[in-house]
Structure formats: structure tokens, C-alpha cells
Structure 1
């Protein structure tokens, strides 16, 4: 078993960081987030210049919904590697999750300034703007993301959801349906598709996709509320 082999390597040389990272990643796959976090913290303490370990530690805090610690960790990652897109994207996400939309928008704009061909910064900035109700700016950015990364589920879902919010249900359905075909196991995409069908009063399809979304993520509160309304 891989886990035993990595533990054996570490028993022989506790400084072997690749084995530590691999063991932590196994713990993550097993759902053992606490042991994984402890490994990442230990690696950050022993190898403060290891960007990957610091990013993984930040993600561990995200899993715990400890967004302040996540933000602090990702700030350290950005200071460590100012040109790192993953470090900046992680920092922006932690701001977003903690409800600090203004700071997340600043970071996404900085990424676009430094990496103007990186589609997912446009996509995430579009999402942040639609959350604030700035749908026209959001649509422009979402179209740019879709242009840079055509036929990608995340960008098509964002574009479709903005069309949905703007009342263009035809374009919403076209984009979100294609996103769901590209990634049928994404709970949010299935929920968005259900919302579009609900807008069209297609209740059977609405229920189908709400149930699918909840099977993937039983904690999706918006899907629960809409399904309850349809009973």
C-alpha cells in the first residue's frame, strides 16, 4: 500500500518532503483532513520556501471553513512567490469565501493585469461581479473567459448563469446545458440547470436536476429550498 511505503521512507528520512506531500495527499483522498493539515504545517515550518506545501496548508484551512487563516496563509504564499498565479487565485478565493468581495476583485484584476491570457481569472472575476449585481461587466468578462477557454464547463456555467440573471433564458439554457454535459457531476451546474428549467415551468426536469445536485452535494441549501417549493 502506497501509504505504508511513504511512511517507511519518512521513518528513514523525516526530511524527505516529497514523501510527506504524497502521504498528505493520500490522507486528503481518504477524507483525513486533520492529519493532512498537520503534515502541511510541519512542512511549512521545516521548509518555509516550499510554495506547494503552503498552498496545500491554505486549502486545508478552506476545508475547515477557517477563511481568516486561509487568507493569511495565501498572503504568505503570494509574498513567497509574487508571480505565482495559483497563489493569487487561492488568495482571491479565500477573500471571496470570507465575504470580502472587494478584495477578491482586486486580486483577480491583478492576475488579469499580469496574465491577460489566463481565462479563469476572467471567469472568477465575472462571478464576483454578478454576485454584486454588476451583470453587464460580468457578462463582458464571462464572454472573454469563454473565448480564451472554449467548451470548458466552469466558463460556460458562469456565462449561462449571468444570462439567466439577465433574463436571457435561451442563452442560459444553451450554455448551462452544455456545461452539464461536459461536467455532469458538478452539483452547482446541475442546480443552475434546474433553475433554468424552473424558469421555463418545466417542473419534471427541474426536480430531476435538483435531485441530481443534492445527490452530489446534500448540503446545497438553495437546491433544497427550491425542491421544497415544488412539493
Structure 2
């Protein structure tokens, strides 16, 4: 590398007007070699990956050059291409290798698993360059695998030479013992570090990690609070503190520290996730949705899109929830879970035809998805594809004979169409046998009775349902009103039909008929 300066002079001389610099073939080859080395050097200074390619090109021009071999050995070690590294390691046989030559070769021997020889080469390198911090650090790190106490001793010996960095040396010594799971000794050195420098945040953080590993959560919190007093701030630290407060059920503190984390990093994932849960608990669904959208990993997490859609639905914005699910379905390559919930939202929006198409795609990807197949059957029933609906219901029952909703769907559909009413009664009775407390199934059976002309039985069954359930469901209100009407009780029928008339067309027609 000493010839680089001369090369610059040559290049500059070539720029002087009126002068020419004829080069021989040998001179041109040497100039090309040095240009490759210069490019490699500057690429290396900029941490560019092209540096290795330039060194390799230069080595092809000078295949025995020990400096270039050393650089290529370092490149292959950095790229973890250890087998290729062997071809360059013979540079160490050159006379009088310098400290850098010895250190790179020591790392090579280490990576090859030859720790004793690696130690020897590091010691030779340090003998030449005892103040080189990088070589010293690698040497101590190697010793921490061979002899922890020896590594700690060597580190501690440096404190006399660098008193201003004594707390850092104690901290690094603690790290050596922590890496070997000698936590009491690690704590001893971390304690020394904070005693020497009470504002040294790294030692508090390390001590907190020790306490976390040993499940001493309150001690961990104490350490992190001490770190905060030094003025150190970190979103990751605040999220860790908040998570511990969640574990110990101090939710006020947890929320406080999650908010601190979010203030430092708006996209902090743990902070946004837990803040969304706290907002949900408070009924602040729009805020909960916004927290999840702020998460750094939101774009890549299908589950968070589903949760956002849920929050949007709960906040009274079903149109936005549907749009979120539509976008998620496209973004996550027709993910089956997203597709299932997207289809349910489409059905809520009275678009069962599109829902059926989405669910057909979900089932093509995952034919065993029982809930999706049942939802597909509901969508087919909505668009009056009754034969296809019955095929899907039968498939669900074959897969799971305990699926009460499947029996009820088919039974109620038959009753609505006034066909195969005896079979409808058997199906709904089977659903109730599986889930006897399901009020929707009881309503289905009452409707079967109604369609069979058993109006009194239908009325008695509907009257047994609690009134709040009937009021909340326009279809059930219609059934009760119709049963009252058919049993000659128009005054009792009218309020129930009025409640249902807006949503149920037959209820409006019957109410009009009663009025006449």
C-alpha cells in the first residue's frame, strides 16, 4: 500500500497540459492493479459490499500478493464462506507478518474451531500492537470461551491504564460472566460499574436483564427506573417496563409507560398493541383501531387488520370495517381467515352473492374449514341457491355431526319455503337437542310449527322466550306477531309486527292486512 501515494502523483502528472505519460504493458498492468486496490479501499471505507469484488479482481492480477490474500480471507470470513477462505490463508507464511495479518489469521483459526492456535496468533498480534482495541476485544472474547476468569483478569488489568473507562471495563467483565450464566459474578461487576459511574445506563440495563432472567420482576423495575433517572430514554426499555407492570397487574403504570414508549417511537409494536387493548376495555374502539394501525408491523400482520376491522365495526362504522377487510383480503393474497371474516362482513352488508364467491375461494384453499363452509351455506341460502346450500349443509354435518347450526339452517330454510316440513321439524329438533338453550333454534322450531298450521304450539313456544331477545330480533318479533294474528289476537299481534315491519317485508304486509 505504500505505492498508493506514488500512484496518485502519476495520475496527477497525467493531468498536466502538454505532457504525455507513455506506459509500458507492465506499467499499465501495475496501474490497473493499483486502481483496483484504491477502489477496494474506498469501498471498504464506505462499508460497501463491492470492496471484496475489487480485492478479488486485484488478486487475479497479483495472485501471490499477501496483502490481497489477507483482505480476501477477511472478506470470506465476513461472508461466512469458510471453505473458500482456505485458499487465501497461506499469506501468513510471509516473513514478518504484521499485527493485522496475525489478527485476521487468528480469527480464521477461531472460525475453524482451532481455539488454541487462535489464542496464540492473537497474543502475537497484541505483542506487536498492544493498544489496538479491536484486536484486544477479539482476544478477550476468545478467552471468554476458553477461560472466563483469565478473560476477566486481563480486562481488569486494563483499568490501571484507562481509569476513565474503569466502569466500562467492569461492565464488559460482567458481560463475560453473564454470557457464561454466572449471574452472581456478573452482578458483582455491574454493581462496580454503577458505583464508579452512577449515570452509566448500560450497567443498569444489564442488571435489569439479570433480574428479568431470574424472575425478580420488582428488582428489574427498580433498575429500569434508576436508568430513567440518568436521563436515558428508550422505547424498548419503556415497553419492557410496561410489560412487567402488566404482569404485576399495575395497569395504570403499564399504560403510562406504554405511552412513553409510543412518544419515543410511534410505531412501537408492544406499546400500540397494549394501548389498543386498554382502549378496547374503555370502549374507545376508534382509538383502539388507530393504535393498531400505528404499529410498525401493521402492514405485515393479517391478524391486526382483522382486529382493526372488529374495532371499526364496534365503533359503529361497518362500512369502514368492510373496506379494511377488503383491503386485507387483497393484501394478504386471499388469506383464508381474512376471507372468512370479509365474507361475513359482506353478508352483513346484504351482499351475499359476493360473500358466496369469496367463501368458495376460501374453501378451495382449505376444504376442511368448517365455519367457512357453514357460512357459505348461509350465503347460498340468502341468494336462493337452495340445492347448493343443502349440499354444503350435508357436507358440514358429515364432517361434524355435532354442528347444531347446520341442522338449524337447513330446517329453518325448509320451513321458510314450506317444503318437507316433517323433515324440517326433525332437523330443528336435532339442533335443539345439541344446544337446548339456544333461543334462535327455539324460534326456528316455533316457525316450523307455524308453517305446519300448529299456531297455538308456535305461540306458546315464542311466548316462552324472554322478551328482550324477541325485541332485539325483528324476525322473531315477526314470528310472534304472526302467531298472535293466527290465533285471533290482532291487538297483541300489532306491536310486534310494527317492530318488525321496517326490516321484514311479510311483517309489513301482515300489519297492513290487520289494519284493514
When normalised by structure 1's length, the TM-score is 0.89
Q: CA deviation at 1:46?
A: 3.0
Residue range with higher mean Cα deviation, 139-148 or 55-64:
55-64
- Residue in 2 aligned with 1:44? 329
Q: Extract structure 1 runs of 4+ deviating beyond 4 A.
A: none
Q: CA deviation at 1:39?
A: 2.0
Matched, 1:112 2:388: no
- Residue in 2 aligned with 1:189? 476
Whole-Å Cα distance in 2 between the matches of residues 165 and 180 of structure 1?
22
Whole-Å Cα distance in 2 between the matches of residues 109 and 50 of structure 1?
25
Whole-Å Cα distance in 2 between the matches of residues 77 and 93 of structure 1?
15
* Alignment coverage as a number of residue pairs: 227
Offset from partner CA, 1:137-194 (integer Å, 9 cap, x none):
1111111111111121111011110111111123212222234547231111111011
Q: CA deviation at 1:72?
A: 1.1
- Which of these residues, 494, 501, 504, is aligned with residue 220 of structure 1? 504
Whole-Å Cα distance in 1 between the matches of residues 422 and 335 of structure 2?
40
Offset from partner CA, 1:36-72 (integer Å, 9 cap, x none):
2332223223323632210122123323433332111
Q: Structure 1 pair 167/177, CA: closer, same or farther in 2 (3 Å)?
A: same
Whole-Å Cα distance in 1 between the matches of residues 451 and 493 of structure 2?
17
Q: Structure 1 pair 152/182, CA: closer, same or farther in 2 (3 Å)?
A: farther
Q: CA deviation at 1:111?
A: 0.9
Q: Are the counterparts in 2 of residues 92 and 105 from structure 1 also a CA contact under 8 Å?
A: yes
Offset from partner CA, 1:112-134 (integer Å, 9 cap, x none):
11111111111011012223321
- Residue in 1 aligned with 2:422? 136
- Residue in 2 aligned with 1:202? 489
Q: Which of structures 1 and 2 has the larger relative contact order (alpha carbons within 8 angstroms, sep 6+)?
A: 1
Q: Are the counterparts in 2 of residues 180 and 190 from structure 1 also a CA contact under 8 Å?
A: no
C-alpha RMSD of the superposition: 2.0
Matched, 1:17 2:302: yes
- Residue in 2 aligned with 1:154? 440
- Residue in 2 aligned with 1:56? 341
Unaligned runs of 5+ in 2: 1-286
Unaligned runs of 5+ in 1: none
Residue range with higher mean Cα deviation, 85-94 or 25-34:
25-34
Q: CA deviation at 1:19?
A: 2.4
